[in-house]
Structure 1
Amino acid sequence: MKKSLTKILGILLIGIILAGATLFMYVSLTLPDISGYTYSPKLKTQILTSDKKLVGEIYDENRTLVSIDDMPKNLVHAVVAIEDRRFYKHHGFDLKGIFRAIAVNLKGDGIHEGASTITQQVVRRLFLSDERTYTRKIKEILLAVKFEQEFNKDEIVEIYLNDVFMGQGTYGVEEASKRFFGKHVKDLTLEECALLAGIPQAPTVYNPTTKSGYKQSKIRKEEVLDAMEDSRYITHEENEKAKAVKISIKKSDSQKNFNGRIRKGCGAYSQRVLSEAQNVLVNSFTNKNQMSKKKAQEKVEQMINQDGIKIYCSLNMSLQTAGVKSVDSFMSAYGLKDSADMAFVTVDGSNGKVLAYYGGSSSIDMANTPRQPGSTIKPLYVSKYLEQPDKTIYSTVQDGPINLYGYSPKNYGNKYYGRVTIQKAITNSLNTACLRLYDELGVKENGDLAGYDAVKEFGFSTLVDVKDDPVYNDNNYAFALGGLTYGFKPLELANAYSVFANDGEKYPYYFVDKITTKDGKLLYEREPSTAKRVRTSEANSAIVECMKGVVKYGTGTLAQTQYETFGKTGTTHDNKDFWFCGVTGNLATSIWVGTPSNKILYGISSSGVASFYNRYVNNTNEIDDFGKIANVDANNTSDKKVEYKNILVVKDNIDVTNREYFTRLEVETVSVPEEDVNKYSDRIVTKATVDASTGLLFNKEKCDKENKEIRYYISGKEPKQLCNKLHIF
């Protein structure tokens, strides 16, 4: 009987061994080949300024690789002590740990105890799934043995510490260190190392950023310290001292938007950078590498999401930070934080760089969304009017009620000024005067209003031509006062005003300077673009002079800074969109305030929006920084109070050459800044009552009333002698 039982048990044992061997053989045949394997995890793409300041990061897994040489020994020892204290003795798996795990699991109804070594955890994450089966466990053990034949212990623990999930969207100890402690991993203290080493077992439970997680992480930290002492990595005194230290956890200072993280206020900008980066890389691969567009798009998507490329962008961090800071203070000051949104864009007129870009607080990028521009459109066509050789800012136009084919706009407050200079028409944003200038530009041979075509020259993408829509288009008179089918994007309006910052020439705007691999190999570098002449230098200087008046003594006085600034305000008639476009030196900025849902706003005006420009400039880290960026010297020319003066002049369409005098119909009263009166010296007239038969001053004692006549003479040339001639009746 005994022999029979022994035989049976022997057969069972052989069967088990054979079954096990068969299973091991089968599993080994299904293992991935890891010979020559190189650790290359998904890396994050960085968006950087030209001076390498971080704007944003794009990733599937937020990880920054760091060498074990740049990790504290305490961190390596802490992880080994708590995760796998026999790590330096085994060859991939630990038999003692396995038997302990089997005993625990046999008592339960499933697999609960893992007993995985650090090496097993690494191969599981790199090559296997997380399913809890004995088959996967066998694969894990076999792969761990193979892995230790390919990599030494330091390399394995380095991979582990770079690859492990640490919670809060971070992978690896470098990102975890920056997230939780605000420092690089190489700078961690003993107690911080212990806390970090305890997280991988249960990242949610030991998340130190939550109240309950902080308590649990403290308990876990002490367990790690005790394990380090038991493994003789630290002394008892070091253990107790580390336990007594209270660890401060850093609050998050970035916002999540796309698959990654970005600096506060840079979400919309980062999206624009990514979009442009994708386009330029796809174009590069299709043109230079003869790659199909589909394959190029797939390659670029992988590069951005996994390969860790570096995109160097146009952003000036000083301006962007100042602008975002100004948004908060401005919206609070006007009580708009809960009822409105805003956007701003700054473009460098000397090259087209987008130096600052804020798309608003909602998910809609309002800096790239068309809105009705109000009066900010006026300088775009009035500058064209000033290209005419006989027109200057002192040329005059009638400001009064008007009706153009049924279109009858009014001035703000229904106030009219009669004959005014072009300068005053812009400075005071006079609707009817500007509409007359728009009308006087005439109609082109193609049937378009010349004023409409003049605005098209600035390159707006949202205008609707007659050929595109014969009914709802922008080729009409309402266009002159900002009544558009769709409107202007703040980005494109800033680019349009950059023309005025650059002597009438326009560079295309851009966001990306260059793109490199993670190792610095150049993938793309922007070539210098050629500027397009949009306005003559003379007309550009003239409209700039008009817009200086807007900031000095017109509707934009709240935009005054210590630098000479010019610009234009804009408000829609329904109080839904409020604008200020300002230029200082080579920097052109458009600012919009409104609501994404197009609601009416109260308690704000375009003059109020102009005050944002002042906040923006003054909030730059150092005021001198703004001057350097804008290429200007500090020179407060904007705070001088200027008064208008009414003067009588010959109308600008009348030739004064070889004329002795002028009639009442040939002169007009214009209102100009006192400082500009001398510019009219050759056209200012003096009124005189003369005897028509002699041309001398009328003498009521001797001259016939029938010869009494009112004439207008260029000042200084009027008759001064009283008529004493004997008249025969």
Structure 2
Amino acid sequence: MSQSKASNSKNNKEQPKKKRNIKRTIIKVFGILVLAFLAMVIVGVLVFAYYAWKAPAFNESALKDQLPTKIYDKNNELVTTLYMGQKREHVKFDDVPDTLKDAVLATEDNRFYDHGALDYKRLSGAVMKNFTGGFGSQGASTLTQQVVKRSFLTDKKSIERKAQEAYLSYRLEQEYSKDEIFEMYLNKIYYSDGIYGSQTASKYYFNKKLKDLNLAETAYLAGLPQVPNQYNIYDNPEGAEKRKDTVLYLMERHGRISKKEMKEAQDTPIDKNLVQRTVEERNDAMTDTPDNEYASYINYVKQEITENKAFKGQSLNDIMTSGLKIYTNMDKNVQKTLQDSVDNGTFYKNKDQITGSSIVDTKTGGLVGISGGKDYKDVVDRNQATDLHPTGSSLKPILAYGPAIENMQYATNHKFQDESEYNVNGSIFKNYDGKGHGSVTMADALARSYNIPALKSWQETNQNAGEKAVKDFASKVNLNYKDQIGPSEVLGGSQSEFSPTQLASAFASMGNGGTYNEPKSIRKVVTQDDETIKFSSDSHKAMEDYTAYMLTEMLKGTFEAYGSAYGYGINGVNVAAKTGTGTYGDEVYSEYQLPENAAKDVWITGYSPQYTMSVWMGFNKVKEYGENSFLGHDEQIKPQILFNEVMSEISSYDGSDFEKPDSVTGSGKSLSVAGNEDNQTTSNSAPSTGNTDNQQNSYNFSGNNNNVTTNEPQTNSNSSNAQSTTQQQSANTENVTTEEQTTESPTSESSNEQSSSSDSNSSDSSSSSNSSSSNAAREAAKEAEDE
């Protein structure tokens, strides 16, 4: 018993001690939590202060209106001003009807006149929802915050942006009244289709002033800015009606309209007074687009500026409405001339024919002019000058002869044996007329765009310089191939698809002594804060100066008798060029009953010491009987007409010629690399066996042939493409021709691997040795020129 009493006494003494320990523990934990909370508050304050310090300057001019972009030409003269759809009609707060004010407040910020810069009541609710839905899942932006975001910040959801938004909102409410902030909101808010500001939106959608809107229309405009593209009535009329009804419900809920008014407005369709617009009209109606003559260039400027790291993370609209001054390489006279010629040229076969063209400064590579198509409209139309198109045999200088000169120092009078047909790994290639033209020099083969010599030159480069030599040569002028280059690519196969802008800059390197310059539209940008952002461009040695010069001298022959663009040179201007023609696959000819001479794509890319111009023409759909095809010589020379017209207008006629480097000896069509004169005039081509299987074991290109078939047809020697401007001469007279066609026919072993690559001009030059035939040829050439 005494032991029991002792035990109880001990327990009674320990209980208060345990309670004191628990109490101390609780106090310690609470203290730690308080300290942690205080630490978090301090850290939060410091982070907020840091982000606020990094916030954009409080620029009052940006609050009043978003600023247009000004475009200057190469001479720093103002060309045009871009408003990006924001040449708006400003509305004053006193002119805004109460119904719109009530609708906006009920939808966006009902307690706007009661809270400060932030609505802490809404903010706390949003914070709780963000814990469950993830950061940014729920917003609580006041009208003040929305004005700040649209004036100074981006839509990026981040703690930094939110902190800066809060800081700048506080600044805004210190400087302006609630009514002034409300007015800013109504003039800044976005209403889809490039429309900014409530007054502008009212006229755009309903052709009314704000005061004349009915309640249903007012509710629609108040609800549209939250997700403007989703609630656009033209694209989503059902969604627009639901949004209108939601706004009316909120107005009634907050006591801003009666239930009767809500019901009547909900029963009023908003499309009753809607201005009906086509897609094109929607892009044109309220967007202050640049003059049509500059639209293609502006499109390129927009592409280029978004790729600059200084504008990373910014939307195009934000960039182009921030008051920039953009200084470009545009020559406004060249730009006007080019676009006017594309718009009003006589070379269109029908309304389906499309055109793209680019002009660069040969020496600097700067983009001086560009046309994306006839009557081009930015946003609406694809820019055909930057789109990829099959090049035909436009690239023979770069894929066939340039690498041979670069790596083996071939002379321009290096000879190849042209043949009636040529076998490369089971695929038979022919010239357009199905004939061989005997022993031909490299200069003549290129000017007349023969196929077989081009393939032999490509083969010899592979054999002597390695399989990557041709691909590497092309890549140095920014013509990049994913796979190894096969024979079909040399003649315009499926991998050989590039834009006129790419071809213009690639060919300019040949006219610039072998230096490649990236085609750039922008030189520099000056921001609203007078910060200058310079735009650099890639410039590098792409080929030896002897390669560039010798290719150029050979390409001058394109405009001479028997050349593929004979008669379309520029009188008084030294100019070199290469043409190209792309055709369809055999199955397309059969399906649409196309003539054998139907061509799909036609090109010319040429250059003088001053300008380099590339022209592509084609069709975006196929129609029966060749209605959407270039048929025969007269239609396939259409790019040459545009080239001649524009280059004749813009050239300086100063007599300048391409400078001959010390690395080249000889003259005319007999040029050699200095030190290699003795061994470059004899042919080291493959024997004229018509079959090179034993020499090409390492090149299996049959996998590419099917791709070529989709672009180019077979053409036999009876095709009307075989007719030149001089028609057919007597049997002992050379034909002078100005167009190209390539024919590849399969052997019996490869009948399912047909491919037809584009473009080979050709004249039968096998009988030009006697004087009588030469005289006949000269007369034929004169006749062609007269035509």
1:343 equivalent to 2:318? Answer no
Residues 1:532 and 1:340: Cα distance change in structure 2 (over 3 Å):
same
1:578 Cα deviation (Å)?
A: 0.5
> Paired residue for 1:526, among 520, 535, 556?
535
Residues 1:130 and 1:414: Cα distance change in structure 2 (over 3 Å):
farther
Residues 1:259 and 1:271: Cα distance change in structure 2 (over 3 Å):
farther
> What letter matches 1:57 in structure 2?
L
1:377 Cα deviation (Å)?
A: 0.7
Instruction: Give CA deviations for 1:486-510 in whole Å, capped at 9, x if unaligned.
Output: 5122221111111112011101222
1:45 Cα deviation (Å)?
A: 4.1
> Paired residue for 1:363, among 381, 393, 396?
381
1:594 Cα deviation (Å)?
A: 0.7
Rounded to whole Å, the distance in 1 between the matches of 2:320 and 2:651 is 38
Rounded to whole Å, the distance in 1 between the matches of 2:461 and 2:192 is 65
Residues 1:45 and 1:651: Cα distance change in structure 2 (over 3 Å):
closer
2:406 is paired with a residue whose SS is coil
> Paired residue for 2:308, among 275, 280, 300?
280
Residues 350 and 586, structure 1, Cα contact 8 Å, conserved in 2: yes
**Matching of residues 473-492 of structure 1 within 5 Å:** 475-485=485-495, 487-492=497-502
1:254 Cα deviation (Å)?
A: 13
1:318 equivalent to 2:351? Answer no
Alignment correspondent of 2:512: 502
> What letter matches 2:609 in structure 1?
G
Alignment correspondent of 1:117: 94
2:410 is paired with a residue whose SS is coil
Rounded to whole Å, the distance in 1 between the matches of 2:535 and 2:431 is 46
Instruction: Give CA deviations for 1:521-540 in whole Å, capped at 9, x if unaligned.
Output: 32x112465x3222221221
Residues 311 and 515, structure 1, Cα contact 8 Å, conserved in 2: yes
1:636 Cα deviation (Å)?
A: 12
Residues 451 and 480, structure 1, Cα contact 8 Å, conserved in 2: no
Rounded to whole Å, the distance in 2 between the matches of 1:346 and 1:426 is 23
1:627 Cα deviation (Å)?
A: 3.2
Residues 424 and 672, structure 1, Cα contact 8 Å, conserved in 2: no
1:410 is paired with a residue whose SS is strand
Unaligned runs of 5+ in 1: 1-35, 66-78, 84-115, 180-197, 206-251, 286-295, 467-474, 638-642, 656-670, 674-685, 688-729
> What letter matches 2:544 in structure 1?
T
Most deviating of 415-424 and 556-565: 556-565
Alignment correspondent of 2:547: 539
Unaligned runs of 5+ in 2: 1-57, 115-142, 144-171, 218-279, 585-598, 659-667, 670-677, 685-733, 737-768, 771-787
> What letter matches 1:490 in structure 2?
P
Alignment correspondent of 1:241: none
Rounded to whole Å, the distance in 1 between the matches of 2:335 and 2:361 is 13
1:57 Cα deviation (Å)?
A: 2.1
Instruction: Give CA deviations for 1:363-397 in whole Å, capped at 9, x if unaligned.
Output: 33322222211121111131222236663222221
Alignment correspondent of 1:716: none
1:335 is paired with a residue whose SS is coil
1:424 Cα deviation (Å)?
A: 1.0
Instruction: Give CA deviations for 1:317-351 in whole Å, capped at 9, x if unaligned.
Output: 21121111111233x44423x12111011122322
> Paired residue for 1:615, among 645, 649, 668?
645
> What letter matches 1:277 in structure 2?
I
Q: CA RMSD in A?
A: 5.3
Alignment correspondent of 2:4: none
1:577 equivalent to 2:606? Answer no
1:385 equivalent to 2:427? Answer no
Rounded to whole Å, the distance in 1 between the matches of 2:213 and 2:466 is 69
> What letter matches 1:496 in structure 2?
A
**Matching of residues 248-267 of structure 1 within 5 Å:** 256=284, 261-267=289-295
Alignment correspondent of 1:404: 424
Residues 56 and 263, structure 1, Cα contact 8 Å, conserved in 2: no
Alignment correspondent of 1:652: 681
Rounded to whole Å, the distance in 1 between the matches of 2:107 and 2:476 is 66
Rounded to whole Å, the distance in 2 between the matches of 1:304 and 1:168 is 17
> What letter matches 1:582 in structure 2?
G
1:57 equivalent to 2:82? Answer yes
Residues 313 and 511, structure 1, Cα contact 8 Å, conserved in 2: yes
Residues 398 and 433, structure 1, Cα contact 8 Å, conserved in 2: yes
Instruction: Give CA deviations for 1:8-35 in whole Å, capped at 9, x if unaligned.
Output: xxxxxxxxxxxxxxxxxxxxxxxxxxxx
Residues 1:130 and 1:280: Cα distance change in structure 2 (over 3 Å):
same
Rounded to whole Å, the distance in 1 between the matches of 2:619 and 2:286 is 23
Residues 518 and 537, structure 2, Cα contact 8 Å, conserved in 1: no
Percent same amino acid among aligned pairs?
20
Residues 1:308 and 1:545: Cα distance change in structure 2 (over 3 Å):
same
Greater gyration radius = 1
Alignment coverage as a number of residue pairs: 463
Alignment correspondent of 1:465: 483
> What letter matches 1:117 in structure 2?
D
Alignment correspondent of 2:761: none
Residues 555 and 576, structure 2, Cα contact 8 Å, conserved in 1: yes
> What letter matches 1:378 in structure 2?
K
Residues 1:457 and 1:406: Cα distance change in structure 2 (over 3 Å):
farther
> What letter matches 1:609 in structure 2?
P
1:672 Cα deviation (Å)?
A: 14
> What letter matches 1:525 in structure 2?
K
Residues 1:394 and 1:168: Cα distance change in structure 2 (over 3 Å):
closer
1:404 Cα deviation (Å)?
A: 1.7
**Matching of residues 59-74 of structure 1 within 5 Å:** 59=84, 61-63=86-88
Whose RCO is larger (CA < 8 A, sep 6+)?
A: 2
Residues 97 and 211, structure 2, Cα contact 8 Å, conserved in 1: no
1:557 is paired with a residue whose SS is coil
Alignment correspondent of 2:523: 513
Residues 1:605 and 1:378: Cα distance change in structure 2 (over 3 Å):
farther
Residues 570 and 579, structure 1, Cα contact 8 Å, conserved in 2: yes
Alignment correspondent of 2:674: none
1:464 Cα deviation (Å)?
A: 2.1
Alignment correspondent of 1:304: 319
> What letter matches 1:508 in structure 2?
E
Residues 1:452 and 1:301: Cα distance change in structure 2 (over 3 Å):
closer
Rounded to whole Å, the distance in 2 between the matches of 1:442 and 1:305 is 49
Residues 1:496 and 1:591: Cα distance change in structure 2 (over 3 Å):
same
1:201 Cα deviation (Å)?
A: 5.2
1:37 Cα deviation (Å)?
A: 10
Residues 43 and 305, structure 1, Cα contact 8 Å, conserved in 2: no
Rounded to whole Å, the distance in 2 between the matches of 1:388 and 1:37 is 60
Rounded to whole Å, the distance in 1 between the matches of 2:324 and 2:536 is 20
Residues 69 and 322, structure 2, Cα contact 8 Å, conserved in 1: no
> What letter matches 2:482 in structure 1?
V
Rounded to whole Å, the distance in 2 between the matches of 1:305 and 1:584 is 35
Instruction: Give CA deviations for 1:584-604 in whole Å, capped at 9, x if unaligned.
Output: 223211110012347751346
Rounded to whole Å, the distance in 2 between the matches of 1:537 and 1:255 is 48
**Matching of residues 556-595 of structure 1 within 5 Å:** 556-562=565-571, 563-574=573-584, 575-595=599-619
Rounded to whole Å, the distance in 2 between the matches of 1:396 and 1:627 is 35
Residues 1:339 and 1:653: Cα distance change in structure 2 (over 3 Å):
same
> What letter matches 1:413 in structure 2?
D
Instruction: Give CA deviations for 1:607-656 in whole Å, capped at 9, x if unaligned.
Output: 221111122234xxxx4xx235xxx516899xxxxx99xxxx9992289x
Rounded to whole Å, the distance in 2 between the matches of 1:570 and 1:487 is 12
1:426 Cα deviation (Å)?
A: 1.3
Residues 561 and 636, structure 1, Cα contact 8 Å, conserved in 2: no
Q: Give me the TM-score of the superposition, normalised by structure 2.
A: 0.49
Residues 1:124 and 1:253: Cα distance change in structure 2 (over 3 Å):
closer
Residues 1:611 and 1:302: Cα distance change in structure 2 (over 3 Å):
closer
